[in-house]
Amino acid sequence: MTDVREISKRPRPTGSPENALSRSYLAEKMRQLGMEVSEQAAPLPPESVERLSKWGASNAATAQLVNLIGVLPGRDRARPALLMMAHHDSVWESPGAPDDAAGVAASLEVVRALKARGTPERDVVVLLTDAEEIGLDGAEAFFQSHPLARRTGAVINMEARGGGGRTAMFETGRGNARWIDLYRRSVGRPSSNSLAVLIYELMPNNTDFTIPKKLGLPGFNFAFIGKAELYHSPAATAEALDQGSLQDMGDQALGVAAALAFASELPGSADNAVFGDVLGLFVVAYPAAMGWAILLAAAGLLGLAFARARRSGAVSFAELGGGVVTALALLAHSALILNVANRISGSAGGPNYYDRLAALPRLESQALLICLACLLLACIVVRPAARLLAAAPAAALLMLGLILGSANPLLLGLALASAVTAILSPGTAPAPGAGGSA
């Protein structure tokens, strides 16, 4: 925490005096750890200059990015090096204790811990990039032109998109089966699953890890995302940072870093694995093909159950179809309700992204209350006599959604799906003749 406190006293955007100040503090720390320290300066691309001047930097046009690089020599310097990466710059108005002073401090702490275990087999490089926040420019400059980039065999990146919560290993290189196996064996309290990896790949978000990953380099990307209100916020101070998250990041990074630094060979590339931690205790991993086999087996068993139930006359095809349509109606309505609730919370007015992040706890309780209200409503609503009336909730939600924002395809599609499935759904009305009324 000492390093986090020291460098996150003030914001340190690229080109600022604070950026240079924290860099010289970090260079001194690296020297004390016995590392060979150097800097790499590079010009900023035009888009980044524009961004910097939009933030209010008066020297944007002449500002340079400066990466800080430390090398802990290994026993065999010809072996591919292990690169630990974090960015030392922050956004304009945030002290950036979590993002990414935490990653910077964790990488130095990992080097200290590795050194205490002896001389690693390979060089351990700490790359503290600059200008991550304005466009991953420091990582780009390093992997494009620095001689050490060609000697890199594995990358561990550390990031934050919030100020707390567990640190997750949410991204790997391609063909990760052997790397997941190494993570499984070397991390005491794991937090990772292949679904998170898949979802992250589908999202437009980037970190410095994007650059080496594009070059086909393997490795691990770690980040914590709890306390989202601290993301790029002026309130992201060292005091606000959850120290447990920092410890968790250091623990997991040290686990894989030690396994890689002291191994005679790095794991090779293989197929992708399906994996997940079980309550943070251990990791279960298996080949993707086995996932399909499990799905097929489940489908087969369901089919068998239906065939037996049908033979005994307990259920018909029509009833099965009705059940499926009702389930789809529930799903479509849930999605429609969440979409409209999102509009009610003010999403249509082009709100500030960070304000929305800060409002997350309130938005979550709103969503919970809306869901509870719908559940209560569902309990008291009796199926209407006229089938068309079943589409009334979807129509009402659509109207509300349109009043609160524009007619986007998602809203229209969800409303249509909800209406159609509701009309086709057999519902839960008592069969004719059953029950009675006065």
The residues that touch Zn ion, with contacts defined as CB under 5 A, are 99-100, 159
- Those residues whose C-beta lies under 8 Å from the C-beta of residue 133, and which sit 6 or more positions away, are 13, 14, 87, 89, 90, 91
Nearest residue (CB) to Zn ion, 96 versus 267? 96
What is the DSSP secondary structure assignment for residue 383, as one 8-state letter?
A: P
Minimal distance, residue 4 CB to Zn ion, in Å: 14
Nearest residue (CB) to Zn ion, 100 versus 229? 100
**φ, ψ of residue 108 in degrees (nearest 5):** -65, -40
Minimal distance, residue 378 CB to Zn ion, in Å: 43
Nearest residue (CB) to Zn ion, 106 versus 283? 106
Q: Peptide bond preceding 89: is omega within 30 degrees of 0, i.e. cis?
A: no
| Residues 77, 255, 249, 21, Cα dihedral to 10° | -20
Minimal distance, residue 374 CB to Zn ion, in Å: 38
DSSP labels, 64-83: EEEEEEEEE--S-TTSPEEE
* Of 49, 240, 219, 90, nearest in space to 143 by CA: 219
Nearest residue (CB) to Zn ion, 252 versus 421? 252
Minimal distance, residue 224 CB to Zn ion, in Å: 11
Name residue, tokens 């909800």.
418
In contact, 11 and 91? CB cutoff 8 Å: yes
Q: What angle do CA 326, 328, 332 make, to 5 degrees?
A: 120
Minimal distance, residue 161 CB to Zn ion, in Å: 7
Minimal distance, residue 136 CB to Zn ion, in Å: 10
Minimal distance, residue 334 CB to Zn ion, in Å: 33
Query: In terms of C-beta density within 10 A (0-12 exposed, 13-18 middle, 19 or more buried), how is residue 29 classed?
Result: buried
Nearest residue (CB) to Zn ion, 100 versus 109? 100
Nearest residue (CB) to Zn ion, 70 versus 98? 98
Residues 302, 119: Cα–Cα separation, whole Å: 56
* Of 71, 68, 21, 12, nearest in space to 40 by CA: 68
Minimal distance, residue 183 CB to Zn ion, in Å: 22
Minimal distance, residue 132 CB to Zn ion, in Å: 6
Nearest residue (CB) to Zn ion, 140 versus 159? 159
In contact, 238 and 5? CB cutoff 8 Å: yes
Q: How many Cβ atoms are within 10 Å of 108's Cβ, its own excluded?
A: 22
Minimal distance, residue 89 CB to Zn ion, in Å: 9
Nearest residue (CB) to Zn ion, 88 versus 146? 88
Cα 238 to Cα 41, 177, 369, distances in angstroms: 28, 36, 34
Name residue, tokens 């914001």.
11
- Those residues whose C-beta lies under 8 Å from the C-beta of residue 289, and which sit 6 or more positions away, are none
Nearest residue (CB) to Zn ion, 99 versus 121? 99
Residues 329, 322: Cα–Cα separation, whole Å: 10
Nearest residue (CB) to Zn ion, 99 versus 137? 99
Distance of CA 238 to the CA centre of its chain: 22
Nearest residue (CB) to Zn ion, 130 versus 159? 159
Minimal distance, residue 422 CB to Zn ion, in Å: 45
